[in-house]
């Protein structure tokens, strides 16, 4: 059974904070939950499905359901594949709604790595020693930044991609972020600014990396019947795909991502092709993340991502594929070190015609949101959504 | 060139004790399927490729090429890498004994076990061949 057209996103909310020194993580979850429900014109009494991932404190959904006060849950899911969990949750919510397991699904994400002083990208994290890969990887100092850097290094080797081409991705994000009053980095940067910023993990520079921010976001997914009774523009889930890519017993290939599979599945379900997409939210933990996923989603040929992103091709109103018009993780927000939910939120804004006027895509009736979770350098989840305005 | 980063000790478990015991003897073991001959890394008791066959641990020659790498600009910088063993499997490791600016993808390297923090077993790193 396909979930095409079986569910709609009716509520979307991004917390305005980027530094929540005086709030708890649970509080942020509750605040974004109410924000998204308010946006939808619903209340927590309407919620019978709840979705959260590893950023939610407590065992799976239990503590958050208790803390937020969700008393009518008939369905729940705490699938955790890192930053793309929330795109998977949208698909899982659509499945649950299509199967009649719930009618109003709430998805929340929140965290405060900035206030907690987490060295997100640069500090190797030991992880659970029972995780079978840890003893074969942790001694060598894997950190998020150097894992993605090895992907970039390999991409440069195989395809001739350059640091200047990667820099264009940050440049495009900064052009969008200047219009977002909540964005952490609103200053427009140049290719030179990016390649002259200090190296963090060769060949990635400081400005190739996303921000570290506190905050969160939430989504509300319902059946089309309920969506039509609400006042907000109807955004329908037209296609969804998921995939896991890993080290494959020593056959790891750093030149592509799981988007190759997740994207193909989402496009097949939606019955559309990349050239039909008017706006794309692309997970942007690093510039290289965007470049590789654009190739793997089929927006350009494999190996041609560097040329594709150059010369402002991702800038709204300038290039062919407007991306991350909120400024993305690179400039706006990467709450809880997990950028998946903000990818969906900005796609919803675009489809509703509620993005900032300076970056709003004209006649935006078909959008894509794609996320990655975990590490492209080892193992990661991928989730793709094709969304349409009805 | 400073080479002062002391890697944290790996934490062997019952399924990997043989691998780390061999490491103390200077031998790098990889997994081999007794029926299909397919090699995998890191080694595990259940073959990740084939349902048939048992896994035996066999020594690698200890030679390979750099598949990718990055210089981590930490307080004590280090070169993290994937090395492709001549037998086929790619493994996460560090490149040592080489100026950072000299490291290249495709460069030939050879195994050199390095001591870890405390009483732990040494870990397999690589240096220019």
pLDDT at B14: 97
Average pLDDT of the residues in A176-199: 98
What is the domain partition of chain B in residue ranges? 17-128
* Residue pair A155/A176 in contact by the 8 Å Cβ criterion: no
Cα separations in angstroms, A218 against A36, A124, A172: 6, 29, 25
The per-residue pLDDT for range A205-217, each reduced to its tens digit, is: 999 999 999 999 9
Average pLDDT of the residues in A10-23: 98
Please check the confidence at residue B3 and state whether its pLDDT lies above 70.
Answer: no
Q: Cβ–Cβ of A154/B88 closer than 8 Å?
A: no
Q: Cβ–Cβ of B8/A139 closer than 8 Å?
A: yes
- Residues from B in contact with A at Cβ < 8 Å: 5, 7-13, 16, 30-31, 39-42, 44, 48-49, 67-74, 78, 80-82, 85, 88-94, 100, 105-106, 116, 123, 125
Give how many domains chain A has, as a whole number. Answer: 1
pLDDT category at A390 given cuts 50, 70, 90 is confident
Q: In what order do the strands lie in the sheet with B29-33?
A: B39-40, B29-33, B55-59
Q: Indicate the SS3 state at residue A307.
A: helix
β-pair partners for A286: A209
Tokens of A316: 């709204």
Q: Cβ–Cβ of B10/A139 closer than 8 Å?
A: yes
Give me the residue from B68, B89, B91 closest to A153, CB to CB.
B68
The per-residue pLDDT for range A32-63, each reduced to its tens digit, is: 999 999 999 999 999 999 999 999 999 999 99
**Chain B residues within an 8 Å CB radius of A151:** 68
What are the E-state strand segments in B1-129?
29-33, 39-40, 55-59, 63-72, 78-85, 90-95, 108-114, 123-128
Which residue do the tokens 């993605």 mark? A148
Please, which residues 304-333 of chain A have a Cβ atom closer than 8 Å to chain B? none
Question: Distance, in angstroms, between B91 CA and closest chain A CA?
Answer: 6
Which are the contacts of A229, defined by CB distance < 8 A and separation ≥ 6? none
Give me the residue from B5, B11, B125 closest to A135, CB to CB.
B11
Q: Cβ–Cβ of A136/B10 closer than 8 Å?
A: yes
Q: Cβ–Cβ of B10/A251 closer than 8 Å?
A: no
Q: pLDDT > 90: what percent of chain A? A: 96
Dihedral pair phi/psi, residue B78, rounded to 5°: -150, 160
Tokens of A329: 């993780």
The count of C-alpha atoms lying within 13 angstroms of the C-alpha of B112, restricted to the half-sphere facing its C-beta, is 11
Q: Cβ–Cβ of A141/B40 closer than 8 Å?
A: no
Average pLDDT of the residues in A118-144: 92
Q: Cβ–Cβ of A199/B68 closer than 8 Å?
A: no
Give me the residue from B44, B74, B92 closest to A137, CB to CB.
B92
Please check the confidence at residue B2 and state whether its pLDDT lies above 70.
Answer: no
Q: Is residue A110 part of a domain?
A: yes
pLDDT at A118: 85
Q: Is this prediction's ipTM beyond 0.85?
A: yes
Please check the confidence at residue A222 and state whether its pLDDT lies above 60.
Answer: yes
Please check the confidence at residue A256 and state whether its pLDDT lies above 60.
Answer: yes
Q: pLDDT > 70: what percent of chain A? A: 100
| CATH code of the domain covering residue A38 | 3.40.47.10
Q: Which of B106, B64, B57 is nearest to B85 (CA)?
A: B64
* Residue pair A231/A350 in contact by the 8 Å Cβ criterion: no
Please check the confidence at residue A315 and state whether its pLDDT lies above 70.
Answer: yes
pLDDT at A126: 84
pLDDT category at A119 given cuts 50, 70, 90 is confident
Q: Do strands B90-95 and B78-85 pair parallel, antiparallel, or not at all (unpaired)?
A: antiparallel
Q: Which of A175, A127, A120 is nearest to A148 (CA)?
A: A120
**Chain B residues within an 8 Å CB radius of A131:** none
pTM of the prediction? 0.97
Please check the confidence at residue A219 and state whether its pLDDT lies above 90.
Answer: yes
- Cα A351 from Cα A234, distance rounded (Å): 9
Q: Which of A295, A309, A311 is nearest to A370 (CA)?
A: A295
Q: Cβ–Cβ of A249/B48 closer than 8 Å?
A: yes
Q: Indicate the SS3 state at residue A308.
A: helix
Which residue do the tokens 């009736």 mark? A365
Which are the contacts of B3, defined by CB distance < 8 A and separation ≥ 6? B96, B97
Average pLDDT of the residues in A108-126: 91
- Cα A91 from Cα A85, distance rounded (Å): 10
Question: Distance, in angstroms, between B48 CA and closest chain A CA?
Answer: 6
Which residue do the tokens 């015991």 mark? B21
Please check the confidence at residue A154 and state whether its pLDDT lies above 70.
Answer: yes
Which chain A residue shows the shortest CA-CA distance from B48? A249
Tokens of A163: 């640091």
**Chain A residues within an 8 Å CB radius of B91:** 136, 250
Average pLDDT of the residues in A195-203: 98
Helices A163-177/A287-297 angle, 10° precision: 100
Average pLDDT of the residues in A5-10: 98
Which are the contacts of A295, defined by CB distance < 8 A and separation ≥ 6? A256, A301, A302, A303, A304, A305, A308
Please check the confidence at residue A196 and state whether its pLDDT lies above 60.
Answer: yes
Helix-strand-coil split of chain B, %, nearest 5 = 10, 40, 55
Choose, out of A123, A127, A136, the residue to mutate when testing the contact with B (most B CBs < 10 Å): A136
pLDDT category at B4 given cuts 50, 70, 90 is confident
Q: Cβ–Cβ of A199/B73 closer than 8 Å?
A: yes
Question: Distance, in angstroms, between B29 CA and closest chain A CA?
Answer: 12
pLDDT at A211: 97
Please count the residue pairs, one from chain A and one from chain B, whose beta carbons lie less than 8 angstroms apart. Answer: 110
Looking at every residue in chain A, the average pLDDT score rounds to: 97
Q: Cβ–Cβ of B94/A251 closer than 8 Å?
A: no
Q: Compute the C-alpha angle A224/A226/A228, nearest 5°.
A: 70
Q: Cβ–Cβ of B80/A141 closer than 8 Å?
A: yes
Domain holding A318, by residue range, is 8-116+210-389
Please, which residues 349-388 of chain A have a Cβ atom closer than 8 Å to chain B? 378
- Cα B16 from Cα B45, distance rounded (Å): 9
Give me the residue from B44, B70, B85 closest to A153, CB to CB.
B70
Q: Report CA A66 to chain centroid distance, whole Å.
A: 26
Choose, out of B5, B46, B67, B92, the residue to mutate when testing the contact with A (most A CBs < 10 Å): B92
- Cα A139 from Cα B116, distance rounded (Å): 8
- Cα B61 from Cα B129, distance rounded (Å): 13
Please, which residues 187-246 of chain A have a Cβ atom closer than 8 Å to chain B? 198-204
**CB-based contact, A137 to chain B, within 8 Å:** yes
Give me the residue from B42, B69, B73 closest to A133, CB to CB.
B42
Q: Cβ–Cβ of A145/B72 closer than 8 Å?
A: yes
CATH architecture type of domain B17-128: Beta Barrel (2.40)
The per-residue pLDDT for range B39-89, each reduced to its tens digit, is: 999 999 999 999 999 999 999 999 999 999 999 999 999 999 999 999 999
Question: Distance, in angstroms, between A152 CA and closest chain B CA?
Answer: 9
- Cα A66 from Cα A281, distance rounded (Å): 32
The count of C-alpha atoms lying within 13 angstroms of the C-alpha of A286, restricted to the half-sphere facing its C-beta, is 30
Q: Is residue A152 part of a domain?
A: no
């Amino acid at each position: 059974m396909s979930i095409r057209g079986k569910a709609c996103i009716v509520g979307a909310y991004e917390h305005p904070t980027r530094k929540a020194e005086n709030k708890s993580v649970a509080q942020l979850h509750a605040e974004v939950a109410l924000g998204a429900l308010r946006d939808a014109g619903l209340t927590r009494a309407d919620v019978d499905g709840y979705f959260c991932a590893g950023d939610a404190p407590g065992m799976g959904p239990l503590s958050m359901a208790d803390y937020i006060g969700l008393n009518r849950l008939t369905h729940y899911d705490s699938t955790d594949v890192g930053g793309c969990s929330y795109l998977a949750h949208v698909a899982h919510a659509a499945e649950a709604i299509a199967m009649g397991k719930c009618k109003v699904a709430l998805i929340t994400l929140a965290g405060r790595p900035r206030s907690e002083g987490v060295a997100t990208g640069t500090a190797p994290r030991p992880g659970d020693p029972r995780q079978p890969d840890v003893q074969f990887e942790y001694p060598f100092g894997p950190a998020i930044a150097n894992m993605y850097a090895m992907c970039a290094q390999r991409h440069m080797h195989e395809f001739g991609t350059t640091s200047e081409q990667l820099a264009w991705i940050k440049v495009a994000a900064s052009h969008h972020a200047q219009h977002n009053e909540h964005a952490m980095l609103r200053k427009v940067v140049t290719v030179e600014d990016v390649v002259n910023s200090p190296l963090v993990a060769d060949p990635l520079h400081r400005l190739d990396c996303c921000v570290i921010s506190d905050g969160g976001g939430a989504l509300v997914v319902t059946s089309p019947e309920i969506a039509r009774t609400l006042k907000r523009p109807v955004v329908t889930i037209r296609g969804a795909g998921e995939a896991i890519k890993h080290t494959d017993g020593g056959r790891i290939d750093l030149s592509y991502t799981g988007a190759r599979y997740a994207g193909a599945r989402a496009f097949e379900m939606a019955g559309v092709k990349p050239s039909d997409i008017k706006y794309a939210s692309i997970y942007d933990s690093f510039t290289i993340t965007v470049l590789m996923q654009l190739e793997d989603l089929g927006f350009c040929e494999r190996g041609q991502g560097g040329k594709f992103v150059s010369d402002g091709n991702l800038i709204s109103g300038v290039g062919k594929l407007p991306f991350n018009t909120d400024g993305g993780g690179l400039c706006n927000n990467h709450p809880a070190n997990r950028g998946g939910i903000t990818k969906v939120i900005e796609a919803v804004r675009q489809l509703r015609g509620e993005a900032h006027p300076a970056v709003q895509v004209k006649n935006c009736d078909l959008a894509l949101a794609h996320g990655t979770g975990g590490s492209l350098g080892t193992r990661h989840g991928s989730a793709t959504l094709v969304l349409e305005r009805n | 060139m400073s080479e002062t980063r002391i890697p944290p000790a790996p934490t062997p478990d019952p399924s990997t004790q043989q691998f780390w015991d061999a490491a103390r003897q200077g031998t790098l073991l990889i997994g081999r399927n007794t029926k299909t001959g397919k090699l995998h890394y890191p080694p595990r008791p259940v073959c990740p490729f084939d349902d048939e066959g048992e896994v035996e641990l066999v020594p690698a020659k200890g030679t390979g090429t750099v598949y990718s790498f990055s210089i981590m600009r930490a307080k004590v910088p280090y070169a993290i890498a994937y090395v492709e063993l001549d037998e086929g499997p790619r493994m996460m490791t560090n490149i040592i004994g080489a100026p950072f600016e000299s490291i290249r993808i495709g460069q030939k390297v050879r195994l050199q076990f390095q001591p870890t923090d405390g009483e732990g077993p040494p870990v397999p790193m690589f240096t220019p061949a």
